[in-house]
Amino acid sequence: MEYRRFGNSDWEASILGFGCMRLPTSDAIPISANIVEDEAIRMIRRGIDRGINYIDTAYTYHEGRSEVVLGRALRDGYRDKVRIATKSPVWLIEKADDFDRLLDEQLERLQSGPIDYYLFHGLNKKRWDAIRDLSLLQRMEAAEDDGRIGHSGFSFHDVYESFREIIDGYDGWSMCQIQYNYMDTENQAGTRGLEYASARGIAVVVMEPLLGGNLARPPRDVQDIFDAHEEQHSPAEWALQWIWGQPEVAVVLSGMSTMQQLEENLLTASTASRYSMGEDERRLIARVREKYEEKAAIPCTKCGYCMPCPHGVDIPANFSLYNDGLMYGDLLVPRFRYFRFFTEEDRASACTSCGECEEKCPQNIAISELMPGVHAVLGEGKPYPDKGES
C-alpha cells in the first residue's frame, strides 16, 4: 500500500480508503440494511491487513447498519490500525441539540472510541446556511474539545461556488470529501475545488471514483475504445489511476461489495506510483469521456444561466442526473441522489412552466417541456422515452 500526507497533518493515509456504503448484502439492493455481516467484517479486516488505514461510513449508510458493522469489524485490535470517518446527517437536524444527540448515537453504534474525522454530510448551499443558522460549527468545535471527535470536515454535493464559500467560511476544516472522477472534472467541486482545497492545506478525500461502479462496467462502444489502446487495463484501473495521478488527492474511497473487488483495488493501489499517465493515456480518457457524453439526451452544459429558478428548481442538477442514467445505463444512483440530496423544491416536479429559465438558456433548451419527463424517470420510476418522443 502507498500512503500520502493527509492535508496539513503529519499523518499519512493509505491512497485507497474503504467506503462502507456498499457492503455485501443478502438481497438485490446494494445499500440495504441486510448486510452479510461475516463477509463484510472479513473484507474490512482484509483491507486493513493489506494496509488500508482510512475507513469511511455515515449515519444513514445501509439504513443505519453500516456504523454498527464497522464497529464490530474494528474489534480485536483493528481499531488501533485505522482512522475512521463518519458523517452528521444535516438534513435530520432541526435544532442544535440534535447534533449532539445524533453524534452520541453514532458513538454508541460504533463502539470504537472517539471518531477521528466527523463530517457534515452532503453539504450544499442550503445546508451550509442551516449549519450557520443553528451554530453547528460551534457544536462541532465543542465535540472536538471534549474528545468525542478528532477533526472536522464535510462531504459535498453542489456547485463549485458553494464549495469555495464553505471552504472559506470556516478555518477549522481538516478535510473534505468530494465526488471526483474523469467524468466529473467540471461537475460539483470539480478540478478547481480539488486544487483550491489542497492549496489551503485541507486533505481531499475522493468519493465515487467509479461513479457507483458505472465506470467499471462501460457500455460496449466505450469498452471498444479501451480495447483498441495498446496498453491494457481494466476500466476500473484506468479510472483509479487517473485520479491517483493527481497529487492533490489524499485518499480515493471505494465502496466494495465483494472480496474480488477489494483484491482488485488493492492490487491497483499497489502499483499507483509506478504508473504514470502520459499524453497518449490522457487522450484515451478524453475519447472515453466524449463517447459517454454523446449519449446524453439533454444538451445542458451546466452554465447556470437559467438559475436561480424562481420556484427553487435546480435545473442543471436535474438534467445532469437524467443524462447520467442514459450515459451509464444505470438509474439506481441517479434516483437515489434525486431523493437523498434534492429537496422537494430542487426537484423537477416543482417546475411550474413559467418559462423564465428558457429566456436565459444559451442552448435554447425547452426546459419547461422536459421537466415533467425528468421527474417521471427519476421520481416515478418510469423508463426513458423512446428516441423521438417528446
Question: What is residue 242's predicted lDDT score, i.e. its pLDDT?
Answer: 94
Confidence of residue 389 (pLDDT cuts 50, 70, 90): very low
Residue 241 has pLDDT above 80, yes or no: yes
Please write the tens of the pLDDT for every residue from 99-118: 999 999 999 999 999 999 99
Task: Report pTM.
Answer: 0.84
Question: What is residue 20's predicted lDDT score, i.e. its pLDDT?
Answer: 96
Please write the tens of the pLDDT for every residue from 172-188: 999 999 999 999 998 88
Please write the tens of the pLDDT for every residue from 267-278: 999 988 766 788
Question: What is residue 340's predicted lDDT score, i.e. its pLDDT?
Answer: 84
Task: Report, as an integer, the average pLDDT of 329-334.
Answer: 86
Share of the chain above pLDDT 70, in %: 98
Question: What is residue 366's predicted lDDT score, i.e. its pLDDT?
Answer: 93
Task: Report, as an integer, the average pLDDT of 343-368.
Answer: 92
Residue 70 has pLDDT above 70, yes or no: yes
Of the candidate ranges 57-61, 159-163, 231-235, 330-334, the one whose mean pLDDT is the lowest? 330-334
Q: Which of 194-198, 214-218, 281-285 has the highest mean pLDDT?
A: 194-198
Question: What is residue 31's predicted lDDT score, i.e. its pLDDT?
Answer: 79
Confidence of residue 234 (pLDDT cuts 50, 70, 90): very high
Question: What is residue 135's predicted lDDT score, i.e. its pLDDT?
Answer: 97
Best CA proximity match to 152, nearest among 166, 165, 162: 166
Confidence of residue 24 (pLDDT cuts 50, 70, 90): very high
Question: What is residue 272's predicted lDDT score, i.e. its pLDDT?
Answer: 81
The half-sphere exposure of 62 on its side-chain side, counting CA atoms within 13 A, is 27
Confidence of residue 351 (pLDDT cuts 50, 70, 90): very high
Question: What is residue 390's predicted lDDT score, i.e. its pLDDT?
Answer: 38
Domains of the chain and CATH, by start: 3-283 (3.20.20.100), 295-390 (no CATH)
d(Cα 296, Cα 286) in Å, to the nearest integer? 16
Question: What is residue 274's predicted lDDT score, i.e. its pLDDT?
Answer: 67
Mean of the per-residue pLDDT values of the chain? 93
Confidence of residue 337 (pLDDT cuts 50, 70, 90): confident
CA angle, 93 then 96 then 102, to 5°: 55
Please write the tens of the pLDDT for every residue from 124-135: 998 999 999 999
Share of the chain above pLDDT 90, in %: 78
Please write the tens of the pLDDT for every residue from 304-315: 889 999 999 999
Task: Report, as an integer, the average pLDDT of 290-298.
Answer: 90
Residue 212 has pLDDT above 90, yes or no: no
Please write the tens of the pLDDT for every residue from 58-69: 999 999 999 999
> ω before 308 within 30° of 0 (cis)?
yes
